[in-house]
Amino acid sequence: MIESHNPWWKGKDFLKEDSDYRKWLNSKVKWVPSLIRKINLVPFSLHFIIGPRQVGKTTLLKLLIRELLDKNVNPRSIFYYRCDQLADYKELDLVLSEYFKIKKAEGIKTSYIFLDEITFPREWFRTIKLWIDTGRLENDVVVLTGSLSLYARGEIETFPGRRGKGKDFIMYPLSFREFIKIADDRLVDKIEKIKDLNVTEIRDKCFKMRPWIEELNDLFELYLKCGGFPLAVRSLLEHGYILNEVKEVYISWLRGDLIKLKRNESLAKRILKAIIEKSPSIITWNNVAKEFEIRSHKTVFHYIDLFEKLFLVKVLYYFDPNRGILNYTKGKKVHLTDPFLYQVFSEWCLTKRPDKFAVIESIVASHIARKYRVGYWKNKLEIDVVVLIDDKIFGIEVKSKPKVRRRVIGKIKDTIYLTGRLFNLDPLAVPVSIFLACLDV
């Protein structure tokens, strides 16, 4: 049974018999996820790789296996199993027991155990905790992948003191910079990375890219269509458009998670519709409940909280510029985290996709939120994204019209304007395509 999941046990050249690796190898558009460089396979480690389905977690595991084989690690010390066919923790225990018989027979001291889609077997964590507590994994590296329901259910928190050198890794859809590397790998080498996200560095590095504005704007138009989900990226770059079956994959993924988490699909659609139709306006849970005929504002809160744990949305809270803190009681901005999701969920919820600059504001907010704390500010005027980095606080505005002016609002000393084509020194304005191309997230 387990041999079919591990064709490299016949020899490292047989990795090509693995269907996932073969699809990656034969794809016209392929890449190695940047996350691969951050995962340290040193025993004992219990790593979690979390992300939406179809974001490339399985491919990442197969490429990690390829790296181990290239280093001449004993092929039989590398164990992979896809857990979506297992019913519960008892079946998971049987699978691990079967592999450990092979490990013992061959005198393998350290194994690399990759368990994909670990969230499917009921109470899977019972088996993993037992194996750790009894010392059977003390010389091994264990890598578990799952959808973000791992966070939604709080399952990762059940392993205190049992992680060794292990870490949590979130696998996001491709950022715009990562997309450029795939669409035009010669161009990305010319783009310097913004590392500290301060006004001076943004100005210096973005202004250097002025000669490449046309190319970056063209690529950004493509990114607005496909976002960073691998199937959508491949479809657009290979065919020139996104196949309907690609969209259906992502709807099926969300519906599957809603069923597993015992949430109502109709309510989920209504709340997603509200997010799309109101974007990028400020909303309250009460107003959404009333306008979209949802029984309680608590229901709205619980579903949006779930969507955020599934990394479908990013909630921005009001920033108090005088006190320098986020206020969680005032109205919120809620953004979908990837432009492709606006396309997919607009069709699913039978509503119109937001205008281009609303989607761009969402891209900017969700990109920055991958590394930094973010909020928003609004009085008579508005700052789309307030970035909080230690004692540095500055604003970012996405402008559809090339009109900018200098502002100081309490602790927000600087505001950077992201435009279509405009460059300006004071206040600083740079094209959004250039800013996102330089942003290393």
Q: What angle do CA 295, 331, 306 make, to 5 degrees?
A: 55
Measured distance CA(147)–CA(118) in Å, rounded: 9
E-strand stretches of 356-425 = 373-378, 382-389, 392-398, 414-419
| Cβ pair 55, 171 in contact under 8 A | yes
32: helix, strand or coil: coil
Q: What is the pLDDT of residue 169?
A: 93
Q: What is the pLDDT of residue 391?
A: 80
Residue range 309-321, pLDDT digits in tens: 888 999 999 999 9
Q: Is the pLDDT of residue 358 over 90?
A: yes
Entry pTM: 0.92
| Cβ pair 195, 440 in contact under 8 A | yes
The mean per-residue pLDDT over the stretch 314-339 comes to 96
Q: Is the pLDDT of residue 405 over 90?
A: no
Q: What angle do CA 76, 79, 81 make, to 5 degrees?
A: 145
> Residue 377's CB: how many other CB atoms inside 10 A?
20
Would strands 392-398 and 373-378 be described as parallel, antiparallel, or unpaired? unpaired
Q: What is the pLDDT of residue 153?
A: 66
Q: What is the pLDDT of residue 413?
A: 87
Spatial neighbors of 219 by CB under 8 A, at least 6 apart, are 176, 179, 180, 183, 184, 187, 433
Q: What is the pLDDT of residue 312?
A: 93
Residue range 42-74, pLDDT digits in tens: 999 999 998 877 899 999 999 999 999 999 999
Domains and CATH numbers, the chain: 2-170 (3.40.50.300), 176-438 (no CATH)
Q: What is the pLDDT of residue 148?
A: 56
Q: Is the pLDDT of residue 208 over 90?
A: yes
Is the previous residue joined to 427 through a cis bond, with omega within 30 degrees of 0?
A: yes
Q: Is the pLDDT of residue 356 over 80?
A: yes
Q: Is the pLDDT of residue 229 over 80?
A: yes
Q: What is the pLDDT of residue 37?
A: 93
Q: Is the pLDDT of residue 268 over 60?
A: yes
Q: Is 170 exposed, middle or buried (0-12, 13-18, 19+ CB in 10 A)?
A: middle
The mean per-residue pLDDT over the stretch 199-222 comes to 96
The mean per-residue pLDDT over the stretch 355-372 comes to 96
Measured distance CA(231)–CA(356) in Å, rounded: 22
- The token pair at 334 is 């809620």
- C-alpha distances out from residue 353 to 247, 348, 350, Å: 15, 11, 9
Spatial neighbors of 170 by CB under 8 A, at least 6 apart, are 50, 51, 311
Residue range 145-158, pLDDT digits in tens: 987 556 666 677 77
Measured distance CA(166)–CA(187) in Å, rounded: 35
Spatial neighbors of 226 by CB under 8 A, at least 6 apart, are 232, 233, 235, 236, 237, 242, 339, 340
Q: How confident is the model at residue 402 (pLDDT cuts 50, 70, 90)?
A: low
The mean per-residue pLDDT over the stretch 190-215 comes to 93
What are the phi and psi torsion angles at 379 (to 5°)? -135, -115
Which value, in Å, is the radius of gyration of the alpha carbons in the chain? 23
Q: What is the pLDDT of residue 224?
A: 98
What are the phi and psi torsion angles at 170 (to 5°)? -105, 125
- The token pair at 197 is 């996200």
Query: Can you name the residues that pair with 336 across neighbouring β-strands?
Result: 313
E-strand stretches of 20-70 = 45-50
The mean per-residue pLDDT over the stretch 324-344 comes to 96
Measured distance CA(234)–CA(55) in Å, rounded: 12
| Cβ pair 424, 434 in contact under 8 A | no
- The token pair at 284 is 């309250």
Residue whose C-alpha is closest to residue 116's, from 90, 72, 150, 68: 150
Q: Is the pLDDT of residue 166 over 90?
A: yes
Q: What is the pLDDT of residue 5?
A: 96
Measured distance CA(277)–CA(336) in Å, rounded: 12
The mean per-residue pLDDT over the stretch 11-30 comes to 94
Residue whose C-alpha is closest to residue 396's, from 199, 138, 142, 131: 199
Measured distance CA(411)–CA(393) in Å, rounded: 7
- C-alpha distances out from residue 227 to 26, 223, 224, 334, 403, Å: 22, 5, 6, 18, 28
Query: Can you name the residues that pair with 316 across neighbouring β-strands?
Result: 333
Q: Is the pLDDT of residue 227 over 60?
A: yes
Average pLDDT along the chain = 93
Q: Is the pLDDT of residue 167 over 90?
A: yes
Q: Is the pLDDT of residue 108 over 80?
A: yes
The mean per-residue pLDDT over the stretch 132-147 comes to 94
Q: Is the pLDDT of residue 114 over 80?
A: yes
- The token pair at 306 is 């779930």
Q: What is the pLDDT of residue 74?
A: 97
User: Tokens 């990656």 identify what position?
Assistant: 24
> Residue 77's CB: how many other CB atoms inside 10 A?
19
The mean per-residue pLDDT over the stretch 12-21 comes to 95
